A = this chain, B = another copy of it.
Amino acid sequence: MTKDRTVSLSRTSALRGLPANHGHVIAVDIGGSNLRVALADRKGVILGRWVASTKRTSSPEMVVKQIRTGVNHLLEQAAVTHRSLLAVAAGAPGVTDRSAGVVFATSYLKGWKDVPLARLLASALQIPAVVENDVKLAAIGENWMGAARGVRDFVFLAIGTGIAAGLFVNGQLVHGPDWVAGEVGYMIVPGAPEMPVQRGTPGSLESVIGGEGVKEQWLSFSGKKHATASRDLTATGIFYHALAGDRRAKNVLERSARVLAYAIYNISAVLNSSLFVLGGGVGRNSTLIAATQQFLEPYTQPSRPKLMASALGQDAQLIGAIRLAQDVVESRVERTLPGR
């Protein structure tokens, strides 16, 4: 068990001959197409970034090897010694058991299954490691330095190809007994399909307001004649057309906002979250946020949810990883130590 190998901050620092608040951490954001690595100091200042594609190197071992290459590159660029590295935190796009350091499953990266990512990273980099679901990391990031700074009860809602949420309740991130808390892409609301879905297929909410869902709405509203010409439009492009007055695009925006509003309203009725921070390519769209907030205006009972766009954008995960790595250094979370 990782718990038995827990060491205190003072011991970690002492081991490396460093005074408190010195040293560095590594943050990693593993995405379906991109891998991003950052080197940060103990105040959270990013000293360097490194990006690579995960499209060809999808196996866990290859991704970890890429991460090591990135780390070496960053250390060299910033003239930081490996000795000053205190921890690494990595986000993965799938169901992740942070306590055990294992990525259970992901629909990206050619479908990782039960990957002991924390152990692989700790071993490759020879520093304590922790892994977390990417959307939960983004919630940590927004709570630390973003739109939900210091807010104890809020929801980070990521809407891109998929939909998921990072929930803060009583100031704590919620994981759930099976590590699938926040999988709100499966929610069933009026205007979304009611049928059960199988593992690996988009959830009900996702199928309507995920990136592909919005495009499918557009194609179905467009009819055959326009379908070919407009097939390449993204959700953002469609919402832009709505703003410009296109009637069919307006229909898509209206339905998307209504369905999203019901999902947010329901989450709010459950948790009484005072704030919803919207992230992801679709979620951050200001036209969608404004239309959704407007739809929610008369829904005042039991409390009116407030929507905001993510302040950190694509950096939310990476900044959350920096924070989580700091938490490892300060022994606030369980971590995996390098094996002997």
Q: Which residues of A contact B (CB under 8 A)?
A: 95, 152-153, 165, 167, 169-170, 172, 174-190, 194, 196-199, 203, 262, 265-267, 269-274, 298-303
Residues of B within 8 A of A179 (CB): 272
Inter-subunit contact B153/A266 (CB<8 Å): no
Inter-subunit contact A262/B184 (CB<8 Å): no
Q: Can you name 21 A-B residue pairings with CB atoms under 8 Å?
A: A95-B302, A153-B177, A165-B270, A169-B169, A169-B170, A177-B272, A177-B273, A177-B274, A178-B302, A180-B272, A182-B272, A184-B269, A186-B265, A187-B269, A187-B270, A188-B189, A189-B266, A194-B262, A199-B300, A203-B301, A270-B271
A302 to B163, CA, bound (A): 13
Residues of B within 8 A of A176 (CB): 153, 271-273, 303
A95 to B272, CA, bound (A): 12
Query: Residue among A176, A183, A273, A302 with the most chain B CB within 10 A?
Result: A302
Please pick, from B170, B184, B198, the residue contacting A174 in the complex, using a CB distance under 8 A: B170
Please pick, from B175, B298, B303, the residue contacting A196 in the complex, using a CB distance under 8 A: B298
Residues of B within 8 A of A183 (CB): 269, 272, 302
Residues of B within 8 A of A262 (CB): 188, 194
A16 to B182, CA, bound (A): 48
A185 to B299, CA, bound (A): 13
Knowing A174-B169, A271-B176, the reply to whether A266 touches B187 (Cβ < 8 A) is yes
A81 to B187, CA, bound (A): 54
**Closest Cβ neighbor of A165 among chain B residues:** B270
- Expressed in whole angstroms, the minimum distance between the Cβ of A267 and any Cβ of chain B is 6
Inter-subunit contact A186/B301 (CB<8 Å): yes
**Beyond A170-B174, A270-B271: 7 further Cβ-contacts under 8 Å?**
A167-B271, A169-B170, A175-B272, A177-B272, A180-B302, A181-B272, A190-B194
Please pick, from B197, B266, B273, the residue contacting A301 in the complex, using a CB distance under 8 A: B197
